[in-house]
Amino acid sequence: MPATSTGNESLPRRLGLFGAITVVVGITIGSGIFRSPAGIANRLPGPGAMLAVWVVGGLLAMCGALALAEVASTFPKTGGIYVFLREGWGRLPAFLFGWAELVIIRAAAVGALAITFAEYFLRVLGYNPLVAPYDTYARYTAAGAIILTSAFNIVGVRWSALVTAATTLAKYGGLLFVVFLAFAVGLPKTGGHFTPFFPAGTFSVAPFGLALVSVLWAFDGWADLTFAGGEVKDGERNLPRAIILGSLAVLVIYLLANLAYLAVLPVEQIRTSKLVAADVGERVMGAAGVTFVAITVMLSTFGSLNATMLANPRVFFAMAEDGLFFKPMAAVHPKFKTPVNAIALAAVLGVTFVLLRKFEDLADAFVTAILPFYILGVAAIFVLRRRPGYAPAFRSPGYPIVPTLFILATLYLLVNAVIDPSTRWPTIAVFGVIALGIPVYYATVGKRVAPPDSTRRAASETA
């Protein structure tokens, strides 16, 4: 498979299997495992349901990862889900994904990660980021982090991958250390807080569904490596391997972390804990434990931000190559061989959002906007398997049940978000912004004829 190119420039395949796995793990483990358990536990009756929702969420994420790994092995190209939508459903759905990335998804994701990093960076320095003037300083720090990680990624994939690998190993190791201390020191003292495992008569499907939304947000990131698929060495083989192995690594550490939380803290305390890992660290290590966890979160979110800036701007690059976005976005730096303008655009969007929006607004908008495209990306497997000559390097086990489970579960979450009064209008507003992309498409690039090297050539090259 040739490297994706524009003119005489190209994005060379420099990312090996280990680097690709660290991108998956690095993007996925951001702030979710540190911030989400409180809200999840608050909606559920006891430890059994709390652990069950993490298991269900992890298995659903694995279903999506397995299906998408097959499609990625067929189209190991720069753009990832954008390419899958184009090949499976056509130019309009692909354009709408790029539109949503431009106006909502990318800036919201980058902004949420950067704000969390900035808050914990200030906490490590001994300042409270929730009070003036440090709340303002946090926004400027977040903007600075976006600019710094953008610079890493412009300088080159190898340098960015090195930063991602280092921070990924640090945060994974930090979580493992918290788990070890919880079981070695905390559990003998507390005996654990696992009973009653399922309190009688308190389980309800609707709260479980809302908690599942938060869990899936914590697992989000398993698909992001595909955006840089054109820069992964031996992409037909390494893309599915990295997606699956990275997703499994995240599932294991998330389950261990939640077991560790329950080993030290009762569910009632987890429900009110804004940073449950820090509370566990304090219980077993004192003040040093809080500092250790704060540093871990800081490294975690910085690494996730850096990996996000590595992968996701490639969507704008791929769109520009297809003639669905401004042509300068397809420019490649002559020395560093990176999509310099696409990365710069993602940085500008992230800085703008981080200076204007709150963390909660950014996180909610991101989750709502990305889910419909996950559904379409995974569902592309059904379309592609009906095409003559389709021969992916990896075939998803459990087909068609595995992709169907992911699609049905994700559809349920979207419907639940519309039905629930607390999320109805923000969800509808996000869908409305995405729908605005339809008239934009037909008023601009939709009038153009598809370039001769579009879907038919791509399909023939990869079949």
Separation in Å, CA 34 to CA 79, 94, 131, 207, 451? 30, 33, 21, 20, 46
Neighbouring CB atoms inside 10 A of 231's CB total 29
pLDDT of residue 112: 82
pLDDT of residue 456: 40
Note the pLDDT tens digit of each residue in 126-165: 888 878 899 899 999 999 999 999 999 999 888 888 999 9
Q: For residues 115 and 35, give the distance between their C-alpha atoms in angstroms, rounded to a whole number.
A: 13
pLDDT of residue 62: 96
Q: Which of 179, 195, 250, 252 is nearest to 48 (CA)?
A: 195
Q: Which of 162, 175, 195 is nearest to 47 (CA)?
A: 195
pLDDT of residue 6: 38
pLDDT of residue 5: 37
Residue pointed to by tokens 């559990």: 187
Q: How far is CA 252 from the centre of its chain?
A: 17
The answer to whether 296 and 174 have CB atoms below 8 angstroms apart is: yes
DSSP state of 31: S
Q: For residues 407 and 415, give the distance between their C-alpha atoms in angstroms, rounded to a whole number.
A: 12
Residue pointed to by tokens 């940073």: 275
The answer to whether 207 and 228 have CB atoms below 8 angstroms apart is: no
Count of structural domains, the chain: 1
User: DSSP string covering 145-194, please?
Assistant: HHHHHHHHHHH-HHHHHHHHHHHHHHHHHHHHHHHHHIIIIIHHHH--S-
Give me the phi and psi of 167, to 5 degrees please: -70, -30
The answer to whether 145 and 117 have CB atoms below 8 angstroms apart is: yes
pLDDT of residue 423: 79
> Which residue range(s) make up the domain with 290?
5-462
Give me the phi and psi of 344, to 5 degrees please: -65, -40
pLDDT of residue 375: 95
- Check: pTM over 0.85? Answer yes or no: yes
Given phi > 0 = left and psi -120 to 50 = alpha, else beta, which region is 132? beta
The answer to whether 152 and 308 have CB atoms below 8 angstroms apart is: no
The β-bridge partners of 78 are: 228
Q: Assign residue 56 the CATH number of its domain.
A: 1.20.1740.10
User: DSSP string covering 403-438, please?
Assistant: HHHHHHHHHHHHHHHHHSTTTHHHHHHHHHHHHTHH
Give me the phi and psi of 264, to 5 degrees please: -110, -40
pLDDT of residue 459: 40
Q: Which of 121, 167, 169 is nearest to 144 (CA)?
A: 121
Q: For residues 312 and 9, give the distance between their C-alpha atoms in angstroms, rounded to a whole number.
A: 20
Digit-by-digit pLDDT tens for the chain (463 residues) are 333 333 334 689 999 999 999 999 999 998 788 878 888 998 888 899 999 999 999 999 999 999 999 999 999 999 999 999 999 999 999 999 999 999 888 888 888 889 889 988 998 888 888 788 998 999 999 999 999 999 999 998 888 889 999 999 999 999 999 999 999 999 998 888 998 888 876 677 778 887 887 888 789 888 999 999 999 999 999 999 999 999 999 999 999 999 999 999 999 999 988 778 888 999 999 989 989 988 998 999 999 999 999 999 999 999 999 999 999 999 999 999 999 999 999 999 999 988 886 655 556 667 778 889 999 999 999 999 999 999 999 999 999 999 999 999 889 888 888 887 877 888 899 999 999 999 999 999 887 655 544 444 444 333 3
The answer to whether 276 and 265 have CB atoms below 8 angstroms apart is: yes
Residue pointed to by tokens 């989400």: 36
User: DSSP string covering 44-62, please?
Assistant: SSSHHHHHHHHHHHHHHHH
Separation in Å, CA 171 to CA 27, 95, 131, 224? 11, 35, 27, 19
SS3 227: helix
